[in-house]
Structure 1
Amino acid sequence: MLTVDFDRLGLRPGERVLDMGCGAGRHAFEMYKRGADVIAFDQDADELATVREWFAAMREAGEVPAGAEADVKEGDALALPFADGEFDRIVAAEVL
């Protein structure tokens, strides 16, 4: 179940997006399917390992547009390891 209305978000292919607090990755997967360059960010290394596997499976199954990129990054949302302006969009759903 997605809790973000991606049509309303106006996400376009090629945009760089951060799924902050991605958990199991459902929002990251949807953005990846829509052609975004996605970083799935979370504190839970085990969840991120699974998200990385799913990104690879989606790519292998041809479920993402050519050129779309996806990766995971472990870290704390209170100390983001990204530069200002690095992302076109940020999704932080059900983080608090």
Structure 2
Amino acid sequence: MMLRLAGLVIAGTGAAHFAAPELFNPITKAAFPENTREWTYGVGAVEVALGLAVTSKKTRLLGLAGTAGYAYWLTSRVRAGRAEG
């Protein structure tokens, strides 16, 4: 039940990237200083897909693995952006 809820939270956060992208642009800009708005939407789409994958028992393991890889990748992008800036 908790993993399903976590998946819904991830998917909801992803959907919020489309509803209110201006809230996410400052965060996204740290990782993607160019084409930030496009990346905001792209990141949101990935989060929706990963979150929905986590909600289903059939795709949960793949969703969790994808979420872990995504978190690592996004964190490394933010760190690289801070090192350059």
Richer in strand (by share): 1
Richer in helix (by share): 2
User: One fold, TM greater than 0.5?
Assistant: no
Q: Structure 1 length as normaliser, TM-score? A: 0.28
Which structure has the larger Rg over C-alpha atoms? 2
Q: Structure 2 length as normaliser, TM-score? A: 0.31
